[in-house]
Amino acid sequence: MHRSSPEASAADFAACRDLLRKGSKSFAAAALLLPARVREPAAAFYAFCRVADDAVDELGEHAPPAAAAAAVAALRERLARAAAGRPDDSPVDRALAHVMAEHGLPRAFIEALLEGFAWDAEGRRYETLSDLNAYAARVAGTVGATMSTLMGARGPDALARACDLGVAMQLTNIARDVGEDARRGRIYLPLAWMREAGIAPDGWLARPVFDDRLGRLVARLLAEAEALYLRAGAGIPMLPRDCRPAIQAARLIYADIGRVIARRGFDSVSTRAVVSPGRKAWLVLRALLRRSVAPAEARAHGAAPPLDEVRFLLEAAR
């Protein structure tokens, strides 16, 4: 049984939607495919994520570690108050507190997301693919697990496939943004992979240029993402029928980013891959028309074990 929900007004949820229309147009557009019963709580969750991300970003890329740690600690305290039903006097906090109570949303999901923000703020790098997956689990697997919970798909297999989708999308983001991140002084590619390819991470960061060695690393990361998109496809039928088109559309559009990168020879340093509006519209149409049952090759992955790096999220949902 869920605890009593703190009061949140229609105006609070409207403020969340307004915040996202101005600062997260991608979510605002994608949310149109979600049923209203999911769209409203999802807006509250995403609005809190937006506010938290902005609070960390406002410190700047060269903020002292202590300042970043203090900002994240303040966000954790803010989350704790919302989870306890005593939210700050803010539309976003009141709406989030209501959603957490009404939907039994585990506080651990959002705490893990804040931990991912902290890792970003400290400029953490990732030695292995497992290390990178641990980061992706926090900044994106948490989103998948949250959305699945808000849709009512709380079983371990559904949550595992939702986390697969979140991690896959984050790996795609990283593959797409190699050049953009480097120009901000950041490397997300596994450092061990770079050294194996004969690329010295710090030397490359000082002069980020594309070559075939880097292209093979981007292709390798996208192959990891593609395997997770396949697993995630098996989770679509585990969702309520009216939620499936939105998640299928997100899956198809993000997977298509990888195909754009591949057509450019895996060069995500010189340019940034974008799926055209026309192509997005076609993929959304595919998602709307696609049969609810996953293809046979994806269906076989429905009961696959979760990634080791997301197991803590599934345990939090028990």
Q: What confidence tens digit (pLDDT) does each residue in 125-139 have? A: 999 999 999 999 999
Do residue 271 and residue 179 come from a single domain? yes
Predicted local confidence at residue 26, as pLDDT: 63
**Tokens representing 2?**
């869920």
Q: What is the pLDDT of residues 193-247, one digit of tens each?
A: 999 999 999 999 999 999 999 999 999 999 999 999 999 999 999 999 999 999 9
Domain stop point among 51, 72, 105: 105
Predicted local confidence at residue 5, as pLDDT: 60
Please give the mean pLDDT across all residues of the chain: 92
Residues 6+ apart with CB under 8 A from 97: 5, 6, 8, 81, 82, 83, 85, 86, 87
Predicted local confidence at residue 46, as pLDDT: 94
Residue 114 lies in a domain: no
Residue 112 lies in a domain: no
Do residue 42 and residue 166 come from a single domain? no
Do residue 150 and residue 46 come from a single domain? no
Predicted local confidence at residue 66, as pLDDT: 84
Predicted local confidence at residue 293, as pLDDT: 55
Spatial separation of the C-alpha atoms in residues 64 and 276, rounded to whole Å? 39
Spatial separation of the C-alpha atoms in residues 205 and 186, rounded to whole Å? 8
Do residue 97 and residue 140 come from a single domain? no
Predicted local confidence at residue 253, as pLDDT: 93
Do residue 97 and residue 166 come from a single domain? no
Spatial separation of the C-alpha atoms in residues 255 and 269, rounded to whole Å? 19
Do residue 140 and residue 74 come from a single domain? no
The total number of structural domains that make up the chain: 2
For 236, the domain range is 125-318
Q: Which of 268, 288, 280, 249 shows the shortest CA–CA distance to 169?
A: 249
Spatial separation of the C-alpha atoms in residues 75 and 67, rounded to whole Å? 13
Task: Say which DSSP state 109 is in.
Answer: H
Domain stop point among 74, 105, 136: 105
Predicted local confidence at residue 25, as pLDDT: 61
Here the CATH number for the domain that contains residue 220 is 1.10.600.10
Do residue 312 and residue 175 come from a single domain? yes
Identify the segments of the chain with pLDDT beneath 50: 1-3
Residue 189 lies in a domain: yes
Q: Which of 57, 50, 41, 54 shows the shortest CA–CA distance to 19?
A: 50
Do residue 310 and residue 198 come from a single domain? yes
Residue 228 lies in a domain: yes
Do residue 142 and residue 57 come from a single domain? no
The dihedral built from the CA positions of residue 249, 252, 226 and 199, taken in this order, carries a sign that is negative
At 143 the three-state DSSP class reads helix
Spatial separation of the C-alpha atoms in residues 227 and 248, rounded to whole Å? 16
Residue 115 lies in a domain: no
Residues 6+ apart with CB under 8 A from 145: 109, 159, 162, 163, 166, 310, 313, 314, 317
Do residue 150 and residue 247 come from a single domain? yes
Residue 110 lies in a domain: no
Residue 59 lies in a domain: yes
What share of residues in the chain are helix, strand, coil (percent, to 5)?
A: 70, 0, 30
Do residue 95 and residue 146 come from a single domain? no
Predicted local confidence at residue 298, as pLDDT: 64
Residue 117 lies in a domain: no
Do residue 185 and residue 60 come from a single domain? no
